[in-house]
Structure 1
Amino acid sequence: MKKWRFLPYKKYQGAYNMAIDEAIMEAMREKTVEPTIRFYGWMPTTLSIGYFQRVEEEIDLQQLKRQQIDLVRRMTGGRAVLHDQELTYSIIMPENYPGLPHTISESYRILSTGLLLGYKKLGIDAELAKPSRKKEPILSAACFDQPSDYELIVGGKKMAGSAQLRQRGVVLQHGSILVHFNKDKLRSLLKHRNDQQLKVHFANHASAINERCDHPRSFQEIQHAFHQGFSEALQDELSREELTLKEKKRVEALAREKYTMDTWNFKR
């Protein structure tokens, strides 16, 4: 098994977070870095949207402006995620990594093991959502509307939302681990005809760490639990490292030329 690089938690603007993930993918493709796990946060609060989402049809841009919330489009698919009180992770690795299944669904099962162990260490009895051919109707543009195959759930409620991209031999999986879920804030940012229906739907389909613990957990405890979870799942100590100088330069270029541009964020 290969050694893993761990990039410890830092907060960045949304454009930089997406640029960092893409820069690591490029470095991985060039075989200049090890498989990487990164923990990060968002400053300011940001709404990230999936690659295929139509912003003006699904997102209330006036509310984003009013609440001073940034917007960024991800490389990955899926639906909108409010990055507020949460821990975001990304896993970046070669597509031919030993033991990694070829299908996205099955690789979710493998890569989500670290998340599962992290929840267990917090005393939360999480499980992986089983694949199902019968899906409920999608009611909103939000990621936490319902779980996908092998995402983390507790009592049927989604605890972590993830998305995966495979591009030119490299796999990126990143996702949001909810510490607290502000359902009202997320709901206010989405265009939806029946606000009350959406409120009930979120309450029945999503949950967060501090709703499931017997006492509120500190952010340090949460980071430590998931660091241990991934370390055990990957059988590696996950030593702390930094981006390389080349990666940092590429991040600046991607943030400036892609992820801060309306041509990217409003492309659909």
Structure 2
Amino acid sequence: MKLTGVEQMALDLHFLEKTISKVEILFTLRFYHWEGNWISLGYHQKAIPPHWEKLLEDGIIKVVRRPSGGGAVLHSGGITYALTFKKPSYKIFSYELVNNWLIKSFNDLGLSLKRGTLKKSIIKENCFESSYVSDLVDQYGFKRIGSAQYRKKGAFLQHGEIQLNPPRDLWFRLFGEEPPKKINLNLTNDEIIKYLINSFLESKSNIKIEKIYYKTDKIKELL
């Protein structure tokens, strides 16, 4: 189901609250696409650049603020994941757990990934301009997966964007640079999502897993 950016963020925060309040919920994992071309701003970003205002006025992009940190992310042609989890003791450990899963999964699919090298996170206009230890870079040197977190009451929400087929013209108009190279894994985005879910669950065979489905009217109640 494709939802607006506002609906997606509301649903992610809803699952975070469920993770916080329900003892039996250890984690939730969700993959999704966006309805249209959306820019999500990191929690601490102050405002959008002036040249984005025209794109926003013309309906070329829409903008929403994430609860998670980091820079602006273009959601178009890729896959977004949202993971909520009971909080590990160390922030870097939680990133490492997720990155180990993503590195192995994409390596199996034919895409080699490694961790970024920058340690101190400096908020930049474009999230994909810099690669920190929480991010994953491909064999061409492009930042392929950017991740950021929001922590609350013993749990965290981790957002990540997997850039697979970013629109070149729009990316250049937004950020003034070339986007990450398009990736062809001979799989649809839905097939990639299915593989990622299965690989995530492989290591959690001793945990009871339940699928949760929400109708559109239920999601709108969260707004």
TM-score (normalised: structure 1): 0.72
Deviations 1:19-73 (A, max 9, x none): 0010111111111662110111100221111111122446612112324322100
Aligned pairs (5 A) from 1:44-59: 44-57=36-49
Aligned residues: 220
State the match for 1:61 in structure 2.
53
Amino acid at match of 1:124: L
Q: Does 1:74 align with 2:56?
A: no
Q: Which has the larger radius of gyration?
A: 1
State the match for 1:7 in structure 2.
none
State the match for 1:30 in structure 2.
21
State the match for 1:262 in structure 2.
none
Q: Does 1:209 align with 2:183?
A: yes
State the match for 1:4 in structure 2.
none
Amino acid at match of 1:113: N
State the match for 2:91 in structure 1.
104
State the match for 2:138 in structure 1.
154
Hey, which of these two has a bigger chunk of helix by percent? 1
Contact 2:118 / 2:131 at 8 angstroms: preserved in 1?
no
Give the Å deviation of 1:208: 4.4
Q: Does 1:86 align with 2:78?
A: yes
Q: 1:238 to 1:60 in 2, by over 3 A?
A: farther
* Separation in 1, partners of 2:24, 2:54: 41
State the match for 2:220 in structure 1.
252
Over aligned residue pairs, what C-alpha RMSD do you find?
A: 2.8
Deviations 1:166-212 (A, max 9, x none): 1111111011111202243123235xxxx4xxx2xx45xx34432xx
Range with bigger deviation, 111-120 or 157-166: 111-120
Q: 1:56 to 1:120 in 2, by over 3 A?
A: closer
Q: Which has the higher contact order (CA 8 A, sep 6+)?
A: 1
* Separation in 2, partners of 1:130, 1:166: 23
Q: Percent identity?
A: 28
TM-score (normalised: structure 2): 0.84
Unpaired runs of 5+ residues, structure 1, are 1-9, 256-268
Contact 1:61 / 1:189 at 8 angstroms: preserved in 2?
no
* Separation in 1, partners of 2:28, 2:68: 17
Q: 1:233 to 1:163 in 2, by over 3 A?
A: farther
SS of residue paired to 1:148:
coil
Contact 1:231 / 1:238 at 8 angstroms: preserved in 2?
no
Contact 1:121 / 1:225 at 8 angstroms: preserved in 2?
no
Amino acid at match of 1:30: S
